[in-house]
Structure 1
């Protein structure tokens, strides 16, 4: 690791995080959403110098580290009490969204098979990460990857703003709002930010639910690789694909949750861990904001966005109705 190459960008992330915290206290605004806004302004108004980009790109590492540490604040007893129904909802919404996007893309809007598959993976699993993972399995072209990724980022930008408003208007409980965000929003960063903007409990439920979806990525990549190998002559599927695409930080999250539930960690240690992951999230979301580029969003084709919009609307409405009825 070239520390000197990363240092300028890391310093920029730290300064952005401090500014977000200070402004949040001064104006009574959620610090995580403010961190995203600062990153957005920096990349679209000011511009990010080339020397800062390598360090800023580490924001995904800090997000993963924060999620791992957040495992210490999770009550496994509470999770087990309502975990069964939520797991069913996660699998149902994920599978339903994937199938709806595929059907709309191929049979209604006339998109190519590979483009439909990229959109389906991004909308149903974990955003741009799923697009990139599935792209290798289906051997998608670079322009297809770019369109699918831009479409996902468009919905990330919209839902970051819209979901907190809906949560307040409908006065959704922490469990309902957090789970709803976790099963319907696309990328992990926006899900965590929106969840914690509602409440700490909602943030935890949003993160746990989103991690459950993320864990399905290996299965989806393997399924697509198998399909395209048989029908279109794509890459050869491998069991190793399942492990390669599995988000490893999920294991760290679970391990820390088990340790905390077993009473191994003291109250002081838990407080320190909570403070640490709060700062890591702020760092990560400053970097996340820099990835929302207006130029990329303007280049998004209308048809891919319409496909995802229809599927997203159906999954959001159906899952919210089920969650409100259950909880």
Structure 2
């Protein structure tokens, strides 16, 4: 029962992160960039994606979807990486100071706020160590190791998966509304050309992991998978399976 409740919490935080990143933060950043900073859509779209979604991947994917000049997503991506370093230095310590009573919230915050997957995972690991130490000394509570890191990576994975969908939506809007000339016919091939193919890997990998978890559930394959992870120098923490969450 406890493992199922934890899995539900993590998945819900991932779903809420999708709503926040794509339906709240993205339109807000795009609006501010257009209205107050007078950016063109070619700049505003990659900027909104880089700030509100995933960072580098989102800026490149959505920049390609609207046919922005290649230099624009590159410039935005460079700024995102620099900003991610600043976030990595500041946000974990802010979470330790204010969210040591809410470890899952702190972990989810790192996944949503820190851009680029690597920096987000690193911040999740930092938060996991910092908050467990603070909670033990201030509250006498020993939080389970790995919970916050798991929340961070889960939120980031959920956000990454929907980059493909968001790029597809923007490709449709720009093909049919923004870039379409009067009398011009837009076909599905144009949308396919605009869609960066690498983002399909996010969704494909997610489906593959789910299928793998279902196929290996309750089999010795789980032990082999954990052994392989251990040989790679990564400490197995949790394995999310359909129907619950188990210690790896």
TM-score by length of structure 2 reads 0.71
Inter-CA distance 207–257: structure 2 relative to 1 (3 Å threshold): farther
Q: Separation in 2 of the partners of 1:78 and 1:106?
A: 41
Counterpart of 2:51 (choices 117, 120, 123) is 123
* 8 Å CA contact retained: 1:102, 1:120: yes
- Name the structure 2 match of 1:190: 119
Choose the corresponding residue for 1:205, options 122, 136, 151: 151
Pick closer, same or farther for the CA change 1:142–1:240 going to 2, 3 Å. closer
Alignment of 1:237 onto 2:165: no
Whether the 8 Å contact between 2:64 and 2:194 is mirrored in structure 1 is no
Q: Distance in 1 between matches of 2:232 and 2:18?
A: 25
Does structure 1 conserve the Cα–Cα contact (< 8 Å) formed by 2:21 and 2:159?
no
2:93–2:127: 8 Å Cα contact kept in structure 1? no
* Shift in Å, 1:265: 3.9
Q: How many residue pairs were aligned?
A: 206
Partner SS state of residue 191, structure 2: coil
User: Residue 14 of structure 1 aligns with which residue?
Assistant: none
Is it true that 1:170 corresponds to 2:98 in the alignment? yes
Q: List runs of 5+ in structure 1 lacking aligned partners.
A: 1-74, 281-327
How many Å separate the matches in 1 of 2:233 and 2:103? 18
| Matching residue of 2:143 | none
| 2:206 equivalent in structure 1 | 250
**Higher share in helix:** 1
RCO greater where, 1 or 2, for CA within 8 Å and sep 6 or more?
A: 1
User: What is the TM-score normalised by the length of structure 1?
Assistant: 0.55
**Which consecutive unaligned segments of at least 5 residues does structure 2 have?**
129-145, 181-188, 236-248
For the residues of structure 1 that align with 2:69 and 2:193, how far apart are their CA atoms? 24
Deviations 1:131-159 (A, max 9, x none): 11122211111331232112211221111
**Counterpart residue number, 1:149:** 77
Cα offsets for 1:32-62 (capped at 9, x unmatched)? xxxxxxxxxxxxxxxxxxxxxxxxxxxxxxx
Aligned to 1:26: none
For 1:214 and 1:153, locate their aligned partners in 2 and report how far apart those are by CA, in whole Å: 16
Q: Return closer, same or farther for 1:271/1:160 CA change in 2, 3 Å cut-off.
A: same
- Indicate the SS of the match to 1:110: coil
8 A contact 1:122–1:148 mirrored in 2: yes
- Check if 1:264 corresponds to 2:219: yes
Residues 175 and 190, structure 2, Cα contact 8 Å, conserved in 1: yes
RMSD: 3.0
Deviation at residue 259 of structure 1 after TM alignment? 5.2
Equivalent residue for 1:104, pick from 15, 26, 32: 32
CA shift, 1:268, in A, is 5.0
Cross-structure match for 1:314: none
